[in-house]
A and B are shown apart, each in its own frame.
Chain A
Amino acid sequence: MAVTREEFESAMTYDQWKAGWTRNHDRFAAQERSYQPDPADVEALKKLPKPVNVLAIVEDWCGDVVANVPIIERLARESGKLNVRYVQRDSTPFIDRYLNRGQFKSIPVFVFLDENFNELGVFYERPDSVTKLRADKRLEVFKNNPAFGDPNAPPDQLPEDVRNQLNQALQKMREETQPFYDKESSRWIRELAARAA
């Protein structure tokens, strides 16, 4: 079962969902400021014959939601061709229909629907290319600093000062890979929406 028109229309607008945020206001704002869409993505969306409906399954605490929602909102605003509505993962039944790889309640989920609410495709969590890049970069962080120990060991086994250094190094890696993340998410959103053409 996909998403019905009634379900979609009863979901929240971005402003309605935003009004209920309990955290991460500054992180959402930072991503809104830093994300600059590729004009090619915006132009491709503008050329869609009709607007595409997108049901977003989200929660405000999730890092990948913080990364991706400003992207889809900006593309929606600049193209005028994405009609995005929001539901919360933990208080609605939608996630059970959209488990990542049939198992995981990963978010965000963006369900792309045509004007008749036929499903066009689904965006789960983040692009695989980003997951792979960050996994490779994470291993580099450990390789470049032997004090961080085994990448597969629990971080609580590290002395607190080393653990804090590792946390900072991983955060730096995240920030350095964010432009790639933004570009790949934009491309995936564009490609899913283009299935309506």
Chain B
Amino acid sequence: MAQPVKVRITYCAECGYETQTLQLAKDLMYKFQDQLSSIELIPWRDGAFDVSVNGELVHSMYRDGGFPPSQTVIEAVEKQLAA
């Protein structure tokens, strides 16, 4: 059985990133349903938009620029589920 996968989305709460945060969360919920152990939303500051899957940073706005395509995060989750 695949290990439970935890996704964390850290978003700048004073930058208007709620829309992108909720869209990504929704895409993950629809795609994986009960295969995820949790999706944690962390309100932060300073322009952050980070996504980690089981503790591995798969996207950082500082590092990678912009918002991640949902598919990037979906593939990172699929990799963890297959591990």
Contact = CB atoms under 8 A, between A and B. Distances in A.
A10 B33 CA distance: 47
A90 B8 CA distance: 27
B62 to A, nearest CB: 7
Given A152-B62, A154-B52, A155-B48, A59 B8 contact: no
Contacts of B57: 154
B44 A155 contact: yes
A62 B16 contact: yes
Contact of B14 (A61, A154, A156, A163): A61
Contacts of B15: 61-63
A63 B45 CA distance: 9
Nearest to B8: A156
Given A155-B42, A156-B52, A167-B45, 14 more contacts: A59-B16, A61-B14, A62-B16, A63-B14, A152-B62, A154-B10, A154-B50, A154-B52, A154-B57, A156-B8, A156-B42, A156-B50, A157-B52, A170-B46
Q: Give 4 closest A-B pairs by Cβ, nearest first.
A: A63-B14, A154-B50, A156-B8, A61-B16
